[in-house]
A and B are shown apart, each in its own frame.
Chain A
Amino acid sequence: MKSFEFIAPRTLDQVVELLPGPRDQKVRDRVKLLAGGQDLLGELKEYLVAPDQVVNLKTVPGLSIFAEQDGRYELGALVTLAELEQSASLRRTHAMVAEAAGAVGSVQIRNQGTVGGNLCQRPRCWYYRHEQAVCIKKGGSECFAYGGLNKYNAILGGGPSYIVHPSDLAPALVAAGATATLKGKKGERTVELERFFTLPSEGAVTRENVLAPDEVLVRVEVPAMAGWTSTYVKFRERSSYDFALAAVALALRMDGGKIAEARLVLGGVAPIPWRCEKAEKALVGRRIDADTCSLAGKLALEGAEPLAHNAYKVPLAQGLVTKALRKLAGT
């Protein structure tokens, strides 16, 4: 990696001061924020970024807060994935979030990886990750995956880039209706996490979220989900540690054996956590049976446009929707 200045600020204001101005898109990569480092170190070592300064967030107090009140949670950006995974209370109230955290990488990565880092991590597409492939994500003109080796790429929401969002936490937190608080030079703003992530066709194609160059994600708030049950089902090619080929975050509120309300978000199939509102609506009023599973799977994958090598993701994601529904039905 290229040499850089390593800065250990003491306050969040100092962090924001070090960042470029809100419109300084071109120089935003000159300063990189370090949380758990699980993504950043790879990016540095592969020369995907070569910042002049790396700012360590771990010396900033207050970013590790993990507070629960009446089933609502405040998760500081530096809360580790291991903490989420091991929280008995979170597992009780928001099982899908704890399960998603536990599905990330390996034990070592979960001990080190953070909420903020996991949500802001960059794509894993092997073209993006190859220094020599100057793809559209890196300011080039082409998505090499589109006509190339795209087994792991998007079947939904793709174009002009076909990455999939690699986060496990994101689909679960989106399904939970979480919000993210971002701090910039002009103060804080709070956005729904669902609006935090951007499709390549909507936002800047070289980024995956709405963070401005001067902003840092400081915390996530998760609303209470009393009366809901939820689960996160992830399919990995390699069980030991792997990113999702497809994943399902599912939350249900049941009423007398029927679904009263549903949230269904797919991971690993689109450039953002893929909310399936049509399927959510169709689930309401139904019992969980084979027909319901198949209907939900069908609607969730509606509009899927597989590339040459990833058509399998359609039946796979449908299968995972079925598994998630059955799991919550206890069958």
Chain B
Amino acid sequence: MALDPIRLQDEKPPRPAAPGKKWLRVTKAVNGIDTEVWEEVADDTGGPQWGARESMRLVSREVPRVDGPDKVTGRATFSHDVRLPGMVYARVLRSRVPAAKVKLDLEPARKLPGVLAVVELGEGEVRWLGRPIAAVAATTPELAEDGVRAIVVSYEEQGFAVTPEKAAAENAPKVNSRGNVRVLSKNTDTSEIDAALAQAPVRVKGTWKIPVQHHASLESHGVVVDYRGGDEATVYASTQGTFTIPGDAAGRLGLKPNQVTAVVEHMGGGFGSKFGMGIEGEAACLLAKELKRPVHLMLDRSSEFHAAGNRSGGEHEIEAGVGKDGRILAFKARVTRHGGVGQGSGHPLPYIYARDNAVFVEDRCIHTNMDSSRAMRGPGHPQASFSMEGVMDECAYAVGMDLLEFRRINLPEGKRELYMRQLERCAELIGWKAHPHKSAPDRSDAEVKVGIGFAIARWGGGGNGQCKVEVRIAQDGSVEVLSGTQDLGTGTRTYCATIVAEELGLELEAVRARIGRSTFGSANASGGSTTAPSLAPSVKHAAHNARVALFEKVAPLLGATASELEVRPGEIRVAASPSKRIAWKDACAALGPNGLSAQGEWQAHLAGNDIGGAQAAKVSVDTLTGEVKVLEMVAVQDCGLVLNLMAAKSQLQGGMVQALSYGLFEERVVDPDLGLFLNANFEDYKIAGAADIPAMKAVFEDDPRGVIGMSEAAIIPGHSAIANAIHNACGVRLREMPMTADKILMGLAALKKG
């Protein structure tokens, strides 16, 4: 039995769709991506269409993001940059121990000059290392830090387990009342799968170890709460869900949600970790409520590592049985998720391949006294990909088969064509044909060896109907598009403007996109790559409605009916007699002082879902030093209509970089005995920099479907392709990330010994 969430995603709709309708697997993202449900939606409302791609001027072209210059020159205002009259700065005090009852004496902090308010957080019990237990507001950040350090904490320390090994040990201190090791799957009877494995002529077995990765957003978590008493507040939040803020904040400020406005003008990365206000946001509200002054509370980097989420680590014990013909006949896995005090996201094994024959997966989690994991870009998938793609190559080598041919055999029927097309394109781009080591690793004595590896990804990326968009045309011809949505860094603001400009025949500069404010139309939180497929169709709809409304006004001036008109750059004309035309400015002048406002909602037929991608990596391994250099990475991805080719490529490349970094460098390091997080900083928590990043090619396939979110698919396969390339290069199979030189050197030494 495979993991439940996967079955849910792959199930067929309950019945055929009614005429004129279609089934959509709609992602409902709560704190990232949790569930997907089938929704029957109108296939085509007769409303807007994206139209022929070759005729597009702006959509699907390479458009530099409209806020790019502001971001690179520092003009863009992130929450961290907000400065308000009378604003004070806050810092949090974190628990120094993983498990304790705590008593705080706040008075020494309150007595410090410059310290204005101190609040206690939590109920005096700490279950994870670094939990914020108090917050201090002061006139400067430095004084707030002094205040934090002046608080006297009495820790009644309890036993703790900060690593899975310690937590799973006999007589380990209890992390919570549910037990440290929890079996989540129902079926734990392995007799059937063991029998199937026993019959397979070739078997591959191994344990994969996956470290905890951090989101490492450049802008830390936090808010600026502008509350000065009275019945109104504005919260500037670094969040991926504008509309997750007002309700949370109102509760803490003693206001109603409609009295709180959330502002997310720009935000510096979230990757799944920034839904809701968090403890830090609550603290800022409590301080603002007490002081009736604006409070600026952004976490410092150490707090960001300790208390703002992470990607769950895990361990996969896998055994696969393979036939001589290369078919995986049996796949058995025990998945153990490491999500701290949380459960961790599911690691969907078997990942894409090997689902047709005997499959058994036991799913467990081990709790530790560490911060709960949160959703992180493609939750669970990069973890599952790492072990699965490793199993694929190990099996292929075990039966002496070409790595691509082995994949072809073990891909599910319905996905074989897609993935083989993408894999073969990757192979072509990375030079697989000329590569001499296709079915066995290079075992020569060469000092520097080159290998190639492949991996694939799948993602939903469908939209849902949570967005309302407004397009306004003013009498002077200026155009605005408004949505409360936030730009997670994917270029949301840019495609909002692009779609409207395309529809109205305007230059991009003529349309101003206003986003990131909860007083604008509602929008979904950015999780599960659902933003573009939810928002873009709504923007298109609003733009379409605005154009139709404008045509109604203009048609009498041209002696035609609205349906006879068309837009051309800068003008509106009668399609059948182009000499009958009116310049944009003159057309808008006819609108009168009220201008025009049109609304848009989600149009299911303008979105799609269910995507696949393949990536390949070429690496060199220096057998003298263990150095791995990624020489080249390529990605081939489908995602329906590409909204902005430049932004989409940068998402795909960004995903490759983040996966490379995950595979080669990133790892949370915690001392099991001292209970200390040893690398909660950007020196020792290593992240790839420019010098570590190879040449990258990002290719999008022509895909006739509507808009589909793809940014999560981008991060899923890269590290797996690198692991496979390392194995291909030098024969060392690393089943543990990060794949650092020490592991390569020890692996090479073990190979030599035989």
Contacts and interface: CB of A to CB of B under 8 A. Distances in A.
Interface SS majority for chain B = loop
A323 interface: yes
Contacts of B689: 238-241
A235 B741 contact: yes
B667 to A, nearest CB: 10
Contact of B671 (A148, A237, A238): A148
Contacts of A60: none
Given A149-B669, A238-B689, A319 B625 contact: yes
A144 B665 CA distance: 23
A130 B678 contact: yes
B20 to A, nearest CB: 55
A3 B112 CA distance: 13
Contact of B684 (A1, A126, A148, A312): A126
B686 A312 contact: no
A133 interface: yes
A249 B393 CA distance: 40
Interface residues of A, number: 33
B625 A311 contact: no
A312 B745 contact: yes
Nearest to B681: A129
Contact of A149 (B671, B742, B745): B671
A310 interface: yes
B749 interface: yes
B625 A238 contact: no
A127 interface: yes
A151 B738 CA distance: 13
B691 interface: yes
Contacts of B749: 315
Contact of A237 (B142, B146, B686, B746): B686
B679 A126 contact: yes
Nearest to B665: A238
Interface in A257-314: 309-313
A329 to B, nearest CB: 15
A238 B660 CA distance: 12
A189 B142 CA distance: 40
B9 interface: no
Interface in A222-244: 235, 237-242
Contacts, number: 81
A242 B671 contact: no
B626 interface: yes
Interface string A123-158: 010110110110000000000100011010000000
A31 B568 CA distance: 73
A240 B678 contact: no
A320 interface: yes
Nearest to A106: B689
A316 interface: yes
Contact of A133 (B622, B676, B692): B676
B692 A240 contact: yes
A241 B688 CA distance: 9
B42 to A, nearest CB: 51
Given A237-B686, A238-B688, A323-B625, A126 B745 contact: no
B434 interface: no
A172 B674 CA distance: 36
A316 B665 contact: no
B624 interface: yes
B690 interface: yes
A239 B625 CA distance: 13
Contacts of B120: none
Contact of B676 (A132, A313, A316): A132
Given A132-B96, A238-B692, A126 B625 contact: no
A319 B690 contact: no
Contacts of A167: none
Contacts of B741: 235, 237, 245, 312, 316
A126 B146 CA distance: 24
A144 B689 CA distance: 30
B740 interface: yes
A239 B691 contact: yes
Interface in B623-638: 624-627
Contacts of B622: 319
A126 B624 contact: no
A181 interface: no
A149 B670 CA distance: 9
Contacts of B743: 312
B445 to A, nearest CB: 12
Contact of A144 (B625, B626, B671): B671
A242 B686 contact: yes
A315 B678 contact: no
Contacts of B687: 238
Interface string A1-21: 111000000000000000000
Contacts of A323: 624-625
Contacts of B740: 237
A114 interface: no
B683 interface: yes
Give the contact-size bracket for chain B. 20 to 34
A287 B611 CA distance: 60
Interface-central residue, A1, A130, A311, A320, by most chain B CB under 10 Å: A130
Nearest to A126: B678
Contacts of B681: 129
B673 interface: yes
Given A124-B683, A238-B686, A240-B689, A148 B746 contact: no
Nearest to A240: B689
Contacts of B684: 126, 129
Nearest to B747: A312
B678 A127 contact: yes
Given A148-B671, A310-B742, A312-B746, A240 B688 contact: yes
Nearest to A309: B742
Nearest to A246: B625
Interface-central residue, A126, A144, A148, A309, by most chain B CB under 10 Å: A126
B475 to A, nearest CB: 51
A10 B674 CA distance: 46
A322 interface: yes
Given A127-B678, A240-B692, A312-B742, A148 B673 contact: yes
B627 A151 contact: no
A235 B740 CA distance: 12
Nearest to A147: B673
Contact of B691 (A149, A240, A310, A320): A240
Interface in B84-143: 96, 142
A323 B676 CA distance: 38
A297 B624 CA distance: 12
A151 B665 CA distance: 14
Contacts of B679: 126
Contact of B625 (A2, A124, A151, A320): A320
A235 B625 contact: yes
A312 B626 contact: yes
A110 to B, nearest CB: 14
Nearest to B149: A47
A144 B674 CA distance: 9
Contacts of A148: 671, 673-674
Contacts of B690: 240
A270 B26 CA distance: 57
Contacts of B627: 235
B194 to A, nearest CB: 35
A234 B690 CA distance: 18
A322 B683 CA distance: 29
Contacts of B674: 132-133, 144, 148
The 9 closest A-B pairs by CB, nearest first: A240-B689, A319-B624, A312-B742, A239-B691, A126-B678, A240-B691, A312-B745, A319-B625, A238-B686
8 contacts: A124-B683, A129-B684, A144-B674, A237-B740, A245-B741, A312-B741, A323-B624, A323-B625
Given A3-B146, A316-B626, 17 more contacts: A126-B684, A133-B671, A133-B674, A133-B676, A149-B669, A237-B686, A237-B741, A239-B691, A240-B692, A241-B689, A245-B741, A312-B741, A312-B746, A315-B749, A316-B742, A319-B626, A320-B625
